[in-house]
A and B are shown apart, each in its own frame.
Chain A
Amino acid sequence: MEPVTKATLQVFRKKLSPAKLLLPSSFIDANEKELLEMDFPNSRQEAWKYTRLNRVAKINLESTPSSIIDWSSYLMVKDAYNFVFQNSECIYKSPDLPKGVSIKIGDEIGAMDWLSSINEGHVAKLNVAHAQNGCVINISNGVQLDKPIQLLFISDGPKQPNFWRNQLQHGKGAKADIHVGYFSKDAIDSYSNVHWSVFLKENSHLIMTKIQNDGDANYHFSTENISQLKDSNFTLNTLTLDGSFVRNDVLVKVEGENCETHLNGAYIMKENQHVDNHTTIDHIFPNCNSYELYKGVMDDKSTAVFNGKVFVRPNAQKINAFQSNANVLLSNDAAVNSKPELEIYADDVKCSHGSTTGQLDEEAIFYLRSRGISEAAARQLVVAAFMQDVFLKVASNELKSYIYQQLAVRFNLYLQEKD
């Protein structure tokens, strides 16, 4: 394997347009300086130990004009405030936002709208440098949304680079449900890089569910930086249903007491697909709870990486942090690398993690078969039952049925292929 050198990152960037998004120039300039010193990380760097970027570094990105698409076919739930991005364009904006909610898109965003955010690593820095579009959502204090906000990001065309940057400010006591969907169309060696900065004020309540349904030829990098203030409650569901290469970096900073954090994830991988979930929950204040559940099924030659970190800082007493990762390997060519980590600097805490890797319960399959269910259908049932734990965490029933439907489609296609 040839070593990746500084030049590789610069070559990779050559055809990318600079950020036209509205990040203050001071922001971009400082970032640029650091970026010039950086390179694609190699597998010697701990955070990229199991995810090789050589394939990514080699792609030749080029913006292509986008086609006309029927975005409504991508909708995950019917009744929502919808926003649709196709490459760097916002092609649909919900006209009727409720009082107290503002969503600014592209040029509407002023330099002052951006709050300072953490941008570590090459993925986040590339995003700062090349972000083309995105939204800044402000939900005012005390606003409780009657229906979810639904954001669709569609990557269209071969070799298409997409950098989306979003920010969400969630007011005191506000309550909202946000569905984010990532899709791709006609993708061949496409690249998307999406960044979210989420700020939860005191006593707010937010459920963010992201569906990654990118298909087979897109490299998808997603970063979420979350900051939680006192008494807030945050849930992030990451459901990777399809995607040839997916990397998720989630960082939750719990910056107030009595917070609750839930991170749930599911990944179902086949062929040569690769998924990498990196999560960090940083407990800075006492009296908080966090729960993490990631489950995955890997078939064919697919690989999965899970790296979950829980930090408990000194004096952050009375923390309960639980983390669990379970994997099923369906094929002998699939692989999983799991690395749950605890770093604890306070003593009055209860923290645990568990990680398992195994296969489907043959007895359960035998039971189903003895009742006349075909082998393939039995396997599908058992897989669905295994993943159920995570899907049940999705609060919205409509979204849940969307997920099941997607899975059924995938499995049926898949079962036909196998038969």
Chain B
Amino acid sequence: MRRRISAYGLTFSLPLLIWQLLFFVFPLVFLIALSFWTVRNFRMQPDFDTVNWTTMYGRAIFWQAYGTTLALATAAAALTSVLAFPCAYAIAFKLPNGARRWAIMLMVIPFFTSYLVRIYSWQVFLSDAGIINVMLGWIGLGPYGLLNTMGATLLGYVTLALPLVVLLQLFSLIFLDRTLIEAAHNMRCGRLRTVFAVVIPSARVGLVIAALFAFILSFGDFVSPIYLGGGDPTTLSILITDTTKSGQQWPRAAVIALTMIVTLMVVAFLSVRFAYRGRK
């Protein structure tokens, strides 16, 4: 169906349009141009040279970082979704209306505190002389190296994404048609089986979008891999900062950034397509 753009609609969307142009489209175009510039004597100069692309794509560290980032973000999206679902399910179906409002309120509270602060507080828990190791020491265990591990990085990602994922899942579950659940029970589908046979397929769009947000947040995150993961293994976000610091290589950092943007776009496109598969 073709729709004509009305002047009325345009007036209201204009500020957003200008914002997107100024702060997304123009920088993106600039980033693309920048990736073809060259650096001589620590100074950037406009150019059209593919050397940055060939250099970055020729480095093993780039592909290692790419693989690590992709794997960690995927793991974070899966882990966060699995952890969030029982919570969102319980809030949506088991709580009375009043308690549900409070639960939603509690889910918003983490956003009051800066993410950086929350990650620092994890350091207090996880370090060798931190709270967890001290408590384990009381019963004669440890100390374990909890900080500067991939597990700690994942923990950071989950900290970042969990409240948002719970909220997104919650909203798709609240609006689920409850007669579908009754109908499933009515056809001899037990409680747990109904969750997998009816609830998850019905809420699929919301669940996939929630996981996608967890992926996007984790994929580009710099704080967790550096402060909880100790920068090892290197993620793409860490690689970008390293590249800019070593010899003013902003054009090569642009190559990494553009690769990340394209990856996110592909993942987002595939996820949305999967979410809406079979829907008209």
A, B co-complexed: no
